[in-house]
Amino acid sequence: MVKIRPMDDRVVIEVLEAEQTTAGGIVLPDSAQEKPQRGKVTAIGAGKLGKDGDRLPMTLKVGDEVMFGKYSGSDVEVDGHEFKIMRENEILLRFDR
Amino acid sequence: MVKIRPMDDRVVIEVLEAEQTTAGGIVLPDSAQEKPQRGKVTAIGAGKLGKDGDRLPMTLKVGDEVMFGKYSGSDVEVDGHEFKIMRENEILLRFDR
Amino acid sequence: MVKIRPMDDRVVIEVLEAEQTTAGGIVLPDSAQEKPQRGKVTAIGAGKLGKDGDRLPMTLKVGDEVMFGKYSGSDVEVDGHEFKIMRENEILLRFDR
Amino acid sequence: MVKIRPMDDRVVIEVLEAEQTTAGGIVLPDSAQEKPQRGKVTAIGAGKLGKDGDRLPMTLKVGDEVMFGKYSGSDVEVDGHEFKIMRENEILLRFDR
Amino acid sequence: MVKIRPMDDRVVIEVLEAEQTTAGGIVLPDSAQEKPQRGKVTAIGAGKLGKDGDRLPMTLKVGDEVMFGKYSGSDVEVDGHEFKIMRENEILLRFDR
Amino acid sequence: MVKIRPMDDRVVIEVLEAEQTTAGGIVLPDSAQEKPQRGKVTAIGAGKLGKDGDRLPMTLKVGDEVMFGKYSGSDVEVDGHEFKIMRENEILLRFDR
Amino acid sequence: MVKIRPMDDRVVIEVLEAEQTTAGGIVLPDSAQEKPQRGKVTAIGAGKLGKDGDRLPMTLKVGDEVMFGKYSGSDVEVDGHEFKIMRENEILLRFDR
C-alpha cells in the first residue's frame, strides 16, 4: 500500500462493516446505522503541534480497533480503498489491545 | 465483556431505567423524561491531554453512579448492550461512594 | 438525603418560591416570573479543573442563598425533591452570610 | 438594605432615570431610549477568578456612576428595589470620582 | 466637560462629519456613508486587564484622529454631545501625530 | 500623502487592478472577479499586542505586493484614494522582494 | 515562476487532476468529486506566529504530495496557473517522501 502520513493528530481508519460480527463478539444490527461506527487504525499522525513547537504524543497505534461518530471525519480513497480520516480527539473509544 | 477504553476524558455509562427505584431511594417519575438521566460508569478514559502532553486526572471511577443531561453524549453498542459515551465534564453530578 | 457531589464547579440549588417573603425581607412579586430566581445551595463541586490538574477554589458554601437566571442550569430530582444544578459562574449573586 | 455580594466580576447597579438631569449636568432626552443607560454601582464582586485561583482586581467601587448598554445584564429585585447585575467588562465608562 | 473614564481598553470618540474637509486634506464624499468613519479620541481607558491583573498599555492618546467601522461601538451622550465608545482594537487606523 | 498608522497588526493596501499585467507577469482575467485580489502594502501597524504588553513583529513591509481574499478587510478613503485595511493574518501570500 | 511566499502557516498547492493515475498508483474515480483532493505543495509559509513572536516549524516541504478537503482554502492564480492556498492544519495527509 502507498505509505501515507496523516497530518497533526489525525488518524486514518479502515471502516469495518456494521453487519460484521467481530472477533470481540460485537454485533451492530441494522438499526445501528446512525450510531457510532467501528474501524481499524491504519495510519497515525505525528501528534498535535504543542505551543512550543513540539508534538504531543498520540494515544492510538496502528492496528487499534476504535469507534467514532458516523459523521466524523472525511472520506479519502487511497489505492482504491475507502478510508476515514479524522482527528484523534474525535475518536470515542478503542478496544483493548 | 469486551474491554473498551474511552479516549481522553470520556466515560462510558450504562443508563439506568428512569422508572427504577434505586438503592439510594431515588425515584424518577414519567414526567422526568426530559430531565437528566442516571447511569453507572462502566469505563473511563486516561484523562484529557494537558498542554504539556500529560493527562489530567479523572474524577470519576468505574462503578460511580452519575446524572447527565438526557441529550448528552453518543449511544454506542458493545456486546449487544447499549451505553452512553460522553466527556467527563458533561456529567452533572455523582452520588456518594 | 442521598449524598450527591456536583462535578467540577457545579452547585446544586434548592429553588425558593418566588412568592415567599424571605428572612432577609425580599419579596419577589408575580411580575418577577421572568426574573432571576432565588435559591439555597445544597451541594457544591470540588472546583473547576485548573490547567495543572488542580482544582480552583469554590466561592460558594452549602447553605448560601443565591440568585441565578431563571433559565440557568438543569432540573434534577433527587429523593423526590426538585433541584437546579449549574456551574458556579452562572450564579449572579449571593446574600451575605 | 440586605447585603448582597455579586459573584466574580459582577456589579450591581441602581439605574438612574433617563429623564433626570444629573449633578454632572448630563441630560439624556427621550430619543436616548435605545442608548446606553446611566447608573450607580451599589455592590461589586470579589473579581474574576484568575487561572491560578486568585481574584483579579476590580476597577469599579461602590458609589461610582457608570454607563452601560441598555440590554446589558439582568434585572434583579432586592428589597423591592430594581437593580441591574452584569459583569464589569460590560460597563462602558465611569464618571470621574 | 464632565470627566469620563472609559472602562478597560475602550476609547470615547467624537465623530467628525463625513462632509468636512480636514486639516489633513481628507475628503469623504457622500458615497462614503457605509465606509469607516473618522473621529477624534476624547477619552481613553486604563487598558485591557492582563491575566496577571496588570493593565496592558493603550496605543491611542487623547486628541488622536482615527478611523473606525461605521457600525463599531455604541453611541453615548455626555453633556448633550454625541460620542462613540468602542474597544481600542476596533479602531482601524490613526493619523500621524 | 497624509501619514496613517494602522492599529495593531493591520495593514493598509492599495488595490492593484485585476486587468493589469504586473511587473511580475501576473495576469488576472475577468473570471477572477471572485478570486483573491492583489495589492501593495502602503502602511503597516506596530504589530499585535502580545499578552505581556509587547508587540509581536510584523512580517510585511511597506512596498510588499500581496494577495488577499476579495471580501477581506474594510474600504477606507484617504486623500481621495481608495485603500483596503485588514489584519496581517488575513493576507494570503506576498510576492518575493 | 514568480516567487511567492505564503503568509504564516499557509501552503500553496498545485491541484492534481482527479482522473489522473499518480506515480503512487492512486486512482480517484468520477464519484470522488466531493471527496478530498490531491495536490503538490509548491510553496510554504514561515510558520504560524507563536505567542512569543517566534515561528512554529512547518511539517510540509515543497514537493510533498498531499490530500485536502475539496472546499478547503482559496483559489489563487499566479502566472496564469491555478493554485490552492490554505493553512497547513487544513491539510489531511501527505504521501510518504
Say if the Cβ atoms of F93 and G5 lie within 8 Å: yes
In the predicted model, what is the mean pLDDT of chain A? Answer: 85
Nearest CA in chain B to A25: B79
Does residue G29 have a pLDDT over 90?
no
CA neighbours closer than 13 Å in the CB half-sphere of residue G24? 21
Count CB neighbours of B31 within 10 A.
9
Give the C-alpha separation, C8 to B86, whole Å. 15
Contact of chains A and E by CB distance (3 or more pairs under 8 angstroms):
no
Say yes or no: A16 contacts chain B, CB-CB below 8 A. Answer: no
Coil/strand/helix, residue A38:
strand
**How close is the nearest chain G Cα to the Cα of A71, in Å?**
14
Say yes or no: B27 contacts chain C, CB-CB below 8 A. Answer: yes
C86: left (phi over 0), alpha (psi -120 to 50) or beta: beta
C-alpha cell at position G78: 499566479
Please give the pLDDT value at position B26.
55
Please give the pLDDT value at position A28.
47
Q: Which domains does chain B have, with CATH numbers?
A: 10-94 (2.30.33.40)
In the predicted model, what is the mean pLDDT of chain E? Answer: 85
The string of pLDDT tens digits covering residues E36-73 is 999 999 999 999 988 777 888 899 999 999 999 999 99
| Distance set, CA A48 to CA B51, B54, B57, G8 (Å) | 10, 13, 20, 17
Count CB neighbours of G52 within 10 A.
12
Nearest CA in chain C to D47: C59
Chain G residue numbers touching A53 (CB-CB < 8 A): 50, 54, 56-57
ipTM > 0.85?
Answer: no
Say yes or no: D80 contacts chain E, CB-CB below 8 A. Answer: no
The percentage of chain D sitting over the pLDDT mark of 90, rounded to a whole number, equals: 60
C-alpha cell at position E38: 473618522
The string of pLDDT tens digits covering residues D2-40 is 699 999 999 999 999 764 455 555 554 444 456 899 999
Say if the Cβ atoms of F5 and E92 lie within 8 Å: no
Coil/strand/helix, residue E52:
coil
Q: Which chains have at least 3 CB atom pairs separated by less than 8 Å from chain G? A: A, F
Does residue B24 have a pLDDT over 90?
no
- Tell me the residue type at E37: Q
Chain A residue numbers touching G89 (CB-CB < 8 A): 7-8, 49
Q: Cα torsion at G64, G70, G73, G79 (round to 10°)?
A: 70
Q: Which chains have at least 3 CB atom pairs separated by less than 8 Å from chain F? A: E, G
Of A27, A54, A92, the CB nearest to B7: A92
CA angle, G3 then G7 then G12, to 5°: 60
Of A28, A88, A92, the CB nearest to B6: A92
Coil/strand/helix, residue C31:
helix
**How close is the nearest chain B Cα to the Cα of C53, in Å?**
5
Of G50, G51, G96, the CB nearest to A5: G96
Chain D residue numbers touching C95 (CB-CB < 8 A): 2-5
Please give the pLDDT value at position A52.
75
Could you tell me how far CA A63 lies from the centroid of its own chain? 10
C-alpha cell at position E12: 470615547
Give the C-alpha separation, D40 to G39, whole Å. 62
Q: DSSP string covering D14-65, please?
A: EEPPTTPBPTT--B--GGGTTS-EEEEEEEE-S--B-TTS-BPPPS--TT-E
Say yes or no: F73 contacts chain E, CB-CB below 8 A. Answer: no
Are B36 and B68 within 8 A, CB to CB?
Answer: yes
Average pLDDT of the segment spanning D61-85: 93
Contact of chains G and F by CB distance (3 or more pairs under 8 angstroms):
yes
Reported as a pLDDT band with limits 50, 70 and 90, residue A25 is low
Count CB neighbours of E82 within 10 A.
11
Say yes or no: D39 contacts chain C, CB-CB below 8 A. Answer: no
Does residue C30 have a pLDDT over 50?
no
Count CB neighbours of F81 within 10 A.
11
Of B26, B69, B94, the CB nearest to C79: B26
| Distance set, CA B96 to CA B13, C14, C86, E92, G40 (Å) | 17, 19, 19, 55, 57
Say yes or no: B30 contacts chain A, CB-CB below 8 A. Answer: no
CA angle, F37 then F40 then F45, to 5°: 110
Coil/strand/helix, residue F34:
helix
The percentage of chain A sitting over the pLDDT mark of 90, rounded to a whole number, equals: 60
Say if the Cβ atoms of D36 and E74 lie within 8 Å: yes
Say if the Cβ atoms of B7 and A94 lie within 8 Å: yes
The string of pLDDT tens digits covering residues B25-53 is 555 444 444 689 999 999 999 999 887 77
Does residue C28 have a pLDDT over 70?
no
* Interface contacts A/G by beta carbons within 8 Å: 66
Say yes or no: B10 contacts chain A, CB-CB below 8 A. Answer: yes
Contact of chains E and D by CB distance (3 or more pairs under 8 angstroms):
yes
Please give the pLDDT value at position B87.
97
Q: Which chains have at least 3 CB atom pairs separated by less than 8 Å from chain A? A: B, G
Backbone angles phi, psi at F47, to 5 degrees: 110, 160
| Distance set, CA B26 to CA B18, B65, B70, C6, F34 (Å) | 10, 12, 17, 16, 62
- From start to end of F1-97, where are the E strands? 4-6, 10-15, 37-44, 65-68, 74-78, 81-87, 91-95
Backbone angles phi, psi at A55, to 5 degrees: -105, 130
Please give the pLDDT value at position D54.
84
Q: Which residues of B47-80 are buried (b: 16+ CB within 10 A; e: fewer)?
A: bbbeeeeebbebbbeeebbbbbbeebbbebbbee
Say yes or no: G53 contacts chain F, CB-CB below 8 A. Answer: yes
Give the C-alpha separation, D22 to D38, whole Å. 10
